[in-house]
């Protein structure tokens, strides 16, 4: 902090929503800015209630936090209003005037496309919506009458907040390996750059104004949709290890693989990570469930954390030990 980027290290679903919701409470965030689009669901658990957010920033759980949808983001209007009802964030949310709009026709185009079937898209239609934006024929937030009460100039607001030393968090979506440009997995990628620099760019924040990049590693790796997953294990094996997951957004089964130290080192470097969060440590070391002090972790779990630090060169400052926003070991000063 004050200006922090949260970026996913792998193929998404690393637990960014949980880390962001923790920081919103703990660091008393002033602004939480969501990038990307509805294809990404960020899960937040608070007081036994689960939220799967596709539009509203995960920082909503702090009632003092202003919520913004970035200029580079792509907004699904019906989903926005649905989540406003769930989160009761009406009075403190704003959508940048230049954010683009994703429509039902985009989803139909996405689902009908043979290419997208091979890639295994989420079916929300984000690729076709971005195509329209690039063609300069997309609708923008400022063109939608229902959105009028929420339309703001978030670029100015966010930059003014940074000038004033406020706590600003830029919420990346998906994972670095799904980047359209940088992950190396084309065409098995999403329709935007998901890296840390692009997250700042979507929000209208210059690179020198970012103080911290927190890369989010999950303690094992998952992927949904097509494309390579090095070290992939079978569904049976995943079930046995307790790693088997179903996607929060689409209900699809996630493929899984063990933590990949070489990949983690590479993605930490390309994203310029200054800190790392390591989520779901309790899934690979069940004895660590709910622990909130590093000293209380088992020796094996501590060794794993140390190995992540040694092999990536990045300090692991936040460790997730359970689903609740506060199930975190916070090792920051």
Contacting residues toward Mg ion, per CB under 5 A:
13, 41
Q: Is 76 a catalytic residue?
A: no
Residue 8 interaction partner, one of ligand IMP, Mg ion, none, beta carbon < 5-8 Å per kind: none
Asked if 224 interacts with ligand IMP (CB under 6 A), we say yes
CB of 51 to ligand IMP, least distance (A): 15
DSSP for 193-246, please give it: --SHHHHHHHHT--GGG--EEEEEEESEEEE-SSS--TT-B-HHHHHHHT---B
Asked if 124 interacts with ligand IMP (CB under 6 A), we say yes
Question: How many Å apart are CA 116 and CA 130, to the nearest integer?
Answer: 14
Q: What is the DSSP secondary structure assignment for residue 72, as one 8-state letter?
A: T
**Assigned token pair, 187:** 């065409």
| Contact between residue 321 and residue 328 where contact means Cβ atoms under 8 Å apart | yes
Q: Which of 183, 225, 320, 323 binds ligand IMP (CB under 6 A)?
A: 225
CA distances from 137 to 39, 69, 107, 130, 269 (A): 21, 20, 17, 10, 36
Catalytic hit among 42, 54, 76, 106:
42
Q: Is 27 a catalytic residue?
A: no
Q: Which of 4, 5, 6, 13 binds ligand IMP (CB under 6 A)?
A: 13
Q: Which of 109, 120, 197, 265 binds ligand IMP (CB under 6 A)?
A: 120
Q: Which of 99, 126, 161, 301 binds ligand IMP (CB under 6 A)?
A: 126
Nearest C-alpha neighbor of 177 from the set 166, 187, 191, 189: 189
Strands (E), 12-78: 31-34, 42-46, 49-53, 66-69, 74-76
Q: Which is nearer to Mg ion, 78 or 246 (CB)?
A: 246
CB of 245 to ligand IMP, least distance (A): 11
List the x/- string, 175-204, binding to ligand IMP by CB under 6 A.
Answer: ---x-----------xx-------------
Residues that bind ligand IMP (CB under 6 A): 11-13, 39-40, 119-122, 124, 126-127, 173-174, 178, 190-191, 224-225
Please identify every residue annotated as catalytic: 13, 42
């Amino acid at each position: 902090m004050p200006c922090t980027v949260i970026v996913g290290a792998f193929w998404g679903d690393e637990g960014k929503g949980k880390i962001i919701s923790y920081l919103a409470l703990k660091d008393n965030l002033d602004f939480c800015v969501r990038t990307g689009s509805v294809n990404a669901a960020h899960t937040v658990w608070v007081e036994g209630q689960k939220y799967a957010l596709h539009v509203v920033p995960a920082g909503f759980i702090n009632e003092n936090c202003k919520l913004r949808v970035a200029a580079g983001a792509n907004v699904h209007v019906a989903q926005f209003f649905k989540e406003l009802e769930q989160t009761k964030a009406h009075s403190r949310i704003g959508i940048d005037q230049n954010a683009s709009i994703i429509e039902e026709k985009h989803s139909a185009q996405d689902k009908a496309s043979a290419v997208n079937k091979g890639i295994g898209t989420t079916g929300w239609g984000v690729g076709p919506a971005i195509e329209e934006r690039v063609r300069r024929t997309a609708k923008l937030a400022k063109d939608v009458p229902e959105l009028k009460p929420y339309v703001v100039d978030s670029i100015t607001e966010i930059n003014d907040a940074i000038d004033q030393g406020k706590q600003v968090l830029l919420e990346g979506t998906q994972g670095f390996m799904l980047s359209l440009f940088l992950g190396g997995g084309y065409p098995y990628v999403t329709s935007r750059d998901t890296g840390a620099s692009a997250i700042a760019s979507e929000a209208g924040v210059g690179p020198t104004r970012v103080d911290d990049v927190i890369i989010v590693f999950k303690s094992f790796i998952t992927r949904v949709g097509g494309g390579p997953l090095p070290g992939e294990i079978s569904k049976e094996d995943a079930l046995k290890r307790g790693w088997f997951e179903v996607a929060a957004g689409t209900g699809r089964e996630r493929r899984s693989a063990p933590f990949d130290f070489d990949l983690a080192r590479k993605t930490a470097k390309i994203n310029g990570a200054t800190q790392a969060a390591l989520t779901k440590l309790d899934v690979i070391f069940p004895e660590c469930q709910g622990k909130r002090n590093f000293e209380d972790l088992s020796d094996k779990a501590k060794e794993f954390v140390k190995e992540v630090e040694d092999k990536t060169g990045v300090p692991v400052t936040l460790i997730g030990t359970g689903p609740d926003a506060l199930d975190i070991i916070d090792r920051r000063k």
